[in-house]
Chains A and B, each alone.
Chain A
Amino acid sequence: MSEATADGARRFFRRARAKSATGAEPGAGKALWQAAPMALVFFVFFLLPLAVTIIVSFWEFTQYSIEPALVFQNYTDVFSGCLEELPGLCVTLATYLSTLKFCFLVWLTTLLIGFTVAYFLAFHVRTLPVQVAFFLLCTIPFWTSIVIRMISWIPLLGRNGLVNGFLIDIGVTDTPLEWLLYSDFAVVLALTHLYALFMVVPIFNSMMRIDRSLIEAAADSGATGVQTLTSVIIPLAKPGIIIGSIFVITIVMGDFLTIGIMGGQQIASVGKTIQTQIQYLQFPIAAANAVLLLIAVTFAISALLKMVDIRREL
């Protein structure tokens, strides 16, 4: 999102705060009518479905049907064996741990790549047209299908793929490496490939708002390049880093497609558990898992938001 988006949202928040005391202004009725279609879509296709999910998570199910009820069976089923098996991990905790592992690894890789690319675009590309052109170059893949971007790794990483061919040619290995595709490595690589842009854009946005004279001042005061980076640029780019992190972490927490396809349908994740339960029509327990995922995501976001004032930086 562009800087102007951020300014627009910020201005809106400021205005809303300023006017909250004065009450509705004239024309509020018309504005209400204009906002109604969007509100209606979100009510019917977002809020109501969330409510239904929470309700159904307390329902009973047999092999054939789901029945209205108020039972906690689905939640206890999700955590069945978790206490007994300690210190071992039950299926659910192991799945969450595996999902968190992917969250952390993908967060780390996208952050390193996103920060470096954004830094290059913001501070080393000197003219605006080149900046826009490079930025578009980064954005275009976002407009193509994620499935295609996933399967595009097959000819490179497969057993007879380019990478293995190259490694055998230069004598690094005699037999093709099996862990390149359908593995944890492939999942992290594909998720990084798909979502690095979500880090680049907000960090670039934050960096473009840094007053260039601050950097000159730091240099004039004798700061080394590294000192300028750690005490001026990183603190000022923090809002972008946090917003990018929110995007990447929430996407990976709920992911089931990439982990499914790039993990050869063999690697567990919370999203994949839900998807599998839906396939077996076990809706109430899938709903319970969805509610738990929702809680986990909310928890993660609120922890990240504590680090930044989202109203000012949105």
Chain B
Amino acid sequence: MADGGRPRSFYVLAAVFTLFILFLYGPMLAIVVLSFQGPDGGLVFPMRGWSLHWFRTLWSDGGSVDISTAFFRSLRLALVVMVLTVVISVMAGLAFRRRFPGAMLLLYVAIASLIMPSIVVSLGIGLEFRLIDEAVKAFGMATGMESIQRNFVTALGTFTSGLGAHLTWTLPFGLLIMFAVFNRFDPSYEEAARDLGASRWQTFVHVTLPIIAPFLIGVAVFGFTLSWDELARSSQVMGSDNTLPMQLAALTTTVTTPEIYALGTTTTAASLLAVGVLLTVAFVIRRSRNQR
């Protein structure tokens, strides 16, 4: 393209792009602002004073929801999902550098898991765990094991079925990112390490891992945020414990105060903070390496 003047279409498209960004961010800015409503404020503009009233209501026990339990439950789950997504994706990424039986099948299953309607996945896992429950109870009855009969309620839970449901959503993203990473990867570094007498494990820890580390932060960002905000697949698999997005969705039908905006602002701040921290870590890794 020639330097200097831009074609007229540029200005039209730039305007469209600006509108798109406004469309993406405008509504969210509105709820962030509205979450600082004064105590008498409502769900819509105008602002009736500014305060932290609704944040206080949210976190105090007197609020209409018990938010801190769900908040920290979601945080723990997201962190576990993040770690597992990184570890499992790296292992699978390494595997896909070679040919192995069933590789194609695994790739297709991962893509199917990505585009499968979430309600179907959620229902399926829910049903599976219900059948497990019945089997365990029947086993308890048959063998007369009292501990099962008395204590067993359900196998459904945040860190059993819930964790699994989230992994079906995060792992396909992790695998696709690993494809990108190992595609750019120059295997001659590993060959050099091995020529110098490094074992396979030493090669992985001292050569492969440091090279791919910044990209693993990307996998971690996806693992954390996708789990932290996950709702559709969570719906039938969390047992009696709600995650934060489930609380939030329930609030949409019951709460008529800016408390829900305060919760929205809190949740968004938490995910952006997590992304920020992870990206900073990636930046620091990269810088310390460049200085070396």
B171 in the interface, Cβ–Cβ < 8 Å?
yes
A49 in the interface, Cβ–Cβ < 8 Å?
yes
B58 in the interface, Cβ–Cβ < 8 Å?
no
Contact present for A250 and B115 (CB under 8 Å): yes
Contact present for A35 and B95 (CB under 8 Å): yes
Interface residues in chain B, defined as those with a beta carbon under 8 Å from any beta carbon in chain A: 1, 6, 9-10, 13-14, 16-17, 20-21, 23-28, 30-31, 34, 43-45, 87-89, 91-92, 94-104, 106-107, 109-110, 112-113, 115-121, 123-128, 130-131, 161, 164-165, 167-168, 171, 175-177, 179-184, 221, 225, 228-229, 231-232, 235-236, 245, 248-249, 252-253, 260-261, 264, 267-268, 271-272, 275
A239 in the interface, Cβ–Cβ < 8 Å?
no
A113 to B16 CA separation, bound complex (whole angstroms)? 9
The 6 closest A-B pairs by CB, nearest first: A254-B117, A49-B124, A8-B179, A8-B183, A45-B164, A152-B27
Contact present for B96 and A56 (CB under 8 Å): no
A113 to B89 CA separation, bound complex (whole angstroms)? 32
Other-chain contact of B123, A113, A155, A247, A287 (Cβ < 8 Å): A287
Contact present for A41 and B168 (CB under 8 Å): yes
Contact present for B165 and A28 (CB under 8 Å): no
Contact present for A250 and B117 (CB under 8 Å): yes
Closest to B269 in A: A144
Taking CB atoms, residues of chain B closer than 8 Å to A47 are 109
Chain A interface residue count: which class? 35 or more
Taking CB atoms, residues of chain A closer than 8 Å to B275 are 140, 143
A140 to B109 CA separation, bound complex (whole angstroms)? 28
CB distance from A284 to the nearest CB of B (A): 10
Contact present for A141 and B95 (CB under 8 Å): no
Q: Pull 25 A–B residue pairs with CB atoms less than 8 Å apart, ordered by A.
A: A4-B181, A16-B103, A32-B102, A34-B91, A34-B94, A35-B91, A35-B103, A37-B87, A45-B121, A120-B14, A124-B14, A140-B272, A143-B225, A147-B249, A151-B252, A151-B264, A152-B264, A162-B45, A253-B117, A254-B232, A265-B253, A275-B119, A278-B126, A297-B116, A297-B117
Contact present for A141 and B24 (CB under 8 Å): yes
Given A47-B109, A117-B20, A147-B231: A1 and B180 within 8 A (CB)? yes
Taking CB atoms, residues of chain A closer than 8 Å to B180 are 1-2, 4-5, 7-8
Other-chain contact of B120, A8, A30, A116, A293 (Cβ < 8 Å): A293
A257 to B122 CA separation, bound complex (whole angstroms)? 13
A154 to B21 CA separation, bound complex (whole angstroms)? 19
Taking CB atoms, residues of chain A closer than 8 Å to B113 are 42, 46
Contact present for A52 and B100 (CB under 8 Å): no
Taking CB atoms, residues of chain B closer than 8 Å to A274 are 119-120, 123
A146 in the interface, Cβ–Cβ < 8 Å?
yes
Taking CB atoms, residues of chain A closer than 8 Å to B34 are 155
Contact present for A156 and B232 (CB under 8 Å): no
Contact present for A32 and B167 (CB under 8 Å): no
Contact present for B176 and A31 (CB under 8 Å): no
Taking CB atoms, residues of chain B closer than 8 Å to A294 are 116-117, 120
Taking CB atoms, residues of chain A closer than 8 Å to B92 are 34-35, 37-38
Taking CB atoms, residues of chain B closer than 8 Å to A16 are 99, 103-104
Chain A binding surface SS class = helix
A2 to B222 CA separation, bound complex (whole angstroms)? 14
Interface residues in chain A, defined as those with a beta carbon under 8 Å from any beta carbon in chain B: 1-2, 4-5, 7-9, 11-12, 15-16, 19, 24-25, 27-28, 30-35, 37-39, 41-42, 44-50, 52-53, 56, 113, 116-117, 119-121, 124, 126, 134, 137-138, 140-141, 143-156, 158, 160-162, 165, 193, 196, 225, 246-247, 250-251, 253-257, 261, 265, 271, 274-275, 278, 283, 286-287, 290, 293-294, 297, 301
CB distance from A286 to the nearest CB of B (A): 6
Closest to A281 in B: B130
Other-chain contact of A275, B107, B167, B184, B235 (Cβ < 8 Å): B235
Taking CB atoms, residues of chain A closer than 8 Å to B252 are 147, 150-151, 261
Taking CB atoms, residues of chain B closer than 8 Å to A30 are 98
Contact present for A50 and B124 (CB under 8 Å): yes
Closest to B31 in A: A152
Taking CB atoms, residues of chain A closer than 8 Å to B164 are 41, 44-45
Contact present for A146 and B20 (CB under 8 Å): no
Other-chain contact of B117, A46, A126, A158, A271 (Cβ < 8 Å): A271
CB distance from B269 to the nearest CB of A (A): 10
Taking CB atoms, residues of chain A closer than 8 Å to B181 are 4, 8
Contact present for B99 and A28 (CB under 8 Å): yes
